[in-house]
Structure 1
């Protein structure tokens, strides 16, 4: 059975007086659905371009930060603990509004997290709205450039539906979560979301070392990579585009490896007619020469101290058999509880457990990012799972299952080799070959598994 919601239309808020009326209209609501639209695929520095707000009654409000210079009237709504702010995937929305407007949040509800905790296999807004309301949302403008103005009617209709269903959806999911005993877990997760902060940082040329594949480069190549990385960022800033839309990391890495020094070698490295060579050829060659001439220290990876380091040892290859055992335990719990991995214990936590090999539940507390609800629900079970693996593990000095299989294969190989020797000797006798001319026996050394 699907639910039909009353539709009170929407209000596009573009001036201070309209914003004040929106705040007054929403202040009496106990629940407010919140969503945002940004321009992360279209701007050098992303910004929040729309805020959609829906109360329990009344219209959907679409607030336009690009046309309003002061959004401070919204701040009390966001920080009011008596009003539940409902998001679908709250993390990005919260950090974006904290970064751009300085909002603080108290009392939130995330419908995506709730749906996962309950056990909904499909927990995107599109699927939840279709499931509960029988409405198929239009995905046409998911990648729209929300910084462009003016916005057309179809853009505003699309945007307002992202918050329109959230208050009612919150009530439906909360009832399911309470029935399944999941609210304590969810409240802890919601509390952590409220504290999320923007972690972006200003451009640093040495961040090029974080590119996948950069660690395999030689020092002289790393200096060139840094020079190309800096050029790309300056072009992106000038054009107000994300750096990846200027050119990709693959181009930076390829040029750093091959080090072309003129137009011909650049064309050979990139391929005939490549847009980077056509649009930025002179600048790229200059950046290559700058990097080649650079004698400063190359970029090096920055080691970030792990939370829990010193108490929880780092994961190593020796821990992989136990990790495999713990994953099987976790997957069984997922099936029994009808939820995803993140709603039991994720792989990063399992790696820490495998490295720690706890003998008591209290030893799990220092593990990075482990939640109180996970400790309460699974700490004892994890310790039991580790103990069960230790009981089955081969004793010290005794070969593991894979080791035994390797030994069996070596014995078979040795036996086959001896049989071949006997066969060769018989042939030699029949052909009257002297012993000194007999072929060498096959190599019966260890065989790789």
Structure 2
């Protein structure tokens, strides 16, 4: 027996005693992270043109990047407008700007010209900021940086606690920010969202450099500068529970009720679900009643606007009933993209093998590079490339063709460089196995 093996063997009584001793020792818990507070106190809300000019001058006099956040009234209002804008820059402190009563945003537009914006989940805030004429010259997205760095949870509060060691309160994230005046507790919550964005940005930027992902991030951030919220076609098809509706005329009822609800919601600037919920639309589309009494008698047809707009709902249902057959919607409209992946094996077994091989390779590379697979390559890009790859099977020409396809979809250079060879191999191996 070697000395190492002898040391590894212990008397059973000794082992029991050591377990008992360790069980008696209290487990030390890590102290909670300190609560993040405002270092300069809560600033007043800027809601006049004169106040905006003062705020813009202070921001312009500051230095470095600008932390920016916006609060909307999702779940309460139809519009996606910003009801509060928070900004922080070194040397200027925090500014809370209420854009609703302002006649111009030009002073702020001028002050931010040429600065780097720091946002968290930029795709949520960029559209409403763009509506106000605010467009970034450069930006850094802390959420996206967290994803590229492989953090398992990338909410702002979690990243601030993990990276900077502060706990953030998230008590008012779902508040109705169209409320006036805004409560002080809400304003403090909003201000805290930009309190340490500069510090968080610097820490994440250093990690990106150390992991060799700085170029990836810069390409992603440059792409975000041109981001526009996608326009959904046939948005009514996203009605929750619509799968329970039978027949094309039932689908027409869903479409007409949804469209009428959307018109009313837009007119009143209220989120559509506050007029009537999706469940009420589905209930009415299942029975398609033809008069007010029958409609209001349906169990489940409820909501603030059920009775108030009952005439509109009956008219919408009557339109669905009177439609010609060729006007009725189909269950699954034809699209230009590939079929659902579950149907590939029946429609094209070789394409199904391509998809499986490509997914496996991309997932493995993403795991090795410590980032989500969907950030390495958008899943829709992968599916489209594998459904209709280039016809050539010359390896060099095939690689060039896949690079061209991914570039046309909008994949960034770093994504193409890493994944195009994997997709090329998937195409070649799927047809040889």
* TM class, shorter-length: 0.7 to 0.9
Supply the distance in 2 between the matched residues of 1:356 and 1:232 (Cα, whole angstroms): 39
Q: Which of the residues 149, 174, 193 maps onto 2:224?
A: 193
Cα deviation for residue 274 of structure 1 reads 7.6
Is residue 366 of structure 2 the alignment partner of residue 366 of structure 1?
no
Of 166-175 and 242-251, more deviation after overlay is shown by 242-251
Determine if the alignment matches structure 1 residue 257 to structure 2 residue 286. yes
- Report the TM-score, using the length of structure 1 for normalisation: 0.74
- Which residues of structure 1 form unaligned runs of 5+? 394-449
Q: Does 1:75 align with 2:109?
A: yes
Unpaired stretches in structure 2, ≥5 consecutive residues: 1-29
Distance 2:184 2:167 in 1: 18
Instruction: Show the counterpart of 2:127.
Output: 95
Partner of 1:52: 86
In the TM superposition, what is the alpha-carbon distance from 1:253 to its structure 2 partner?
3.4
Distance 2:307 2:75 in 1: 23
Aligned residues: CA RMSD: 3.3
Is 1:350 the equivalent of 2:382?
yes
Is the counterpart of residue 121 in structure 1 residue 152 in structure 2? yes
Distance across 1 between alignment mates of 2:244 and 2:294: 24
Cα 1:241/1:56, change in 2 over 3 Å = same
Check conservation: 2:244, 2:282, Cα contact below 8 A: no
> What is the deviation of 1:35?
0.5
Task: State the partner residue of 1:325.
Answer: 357
Q: CA deviation at 1:226?
A: 3.9
Equivalent residue for 2:97?
A: 63
Map 1:404-415 to 2 at 5 A.
none
| d(CA) in 2 for partners of 1:197, 1:336 | 31
Give CA deviations for 1:79-119 in whole Å, capped at 9, x if unaligned: 31xx21111011121111112x1222211111111111111
Closer, same or farther in 2 for the Cα pair 1:196/1:148, shift >3 Å? same
Match of 1:139 in 2: 170
Match of 2:368 in 1: 336
The answer to whether the 8 A contact 1:43-1:241 is kept is yes
| Deviations 1:392-411 (CA, angstroms, capped at 9, x unpaired) | x2xxxxxxxxxxxxxxxxxx
| Deviation readout 1:104-141 (Å, 9 max, x if unpaired) | 22111111111111111121101111112322211111
**TM-score, scaled relative to structure 2:** 0.77
Distance verdict in 2 for CA 1:157–1:126, change over 3 Å = same
Structure 1 167/200 Cα, relative in aligned 2: closer, same or farther at 3 Å?
A: same
Of structures 1 and 2, the larger Rg is shown by 1
Three-state SS of the structure 2 residue aligned to 1:30 is: strand
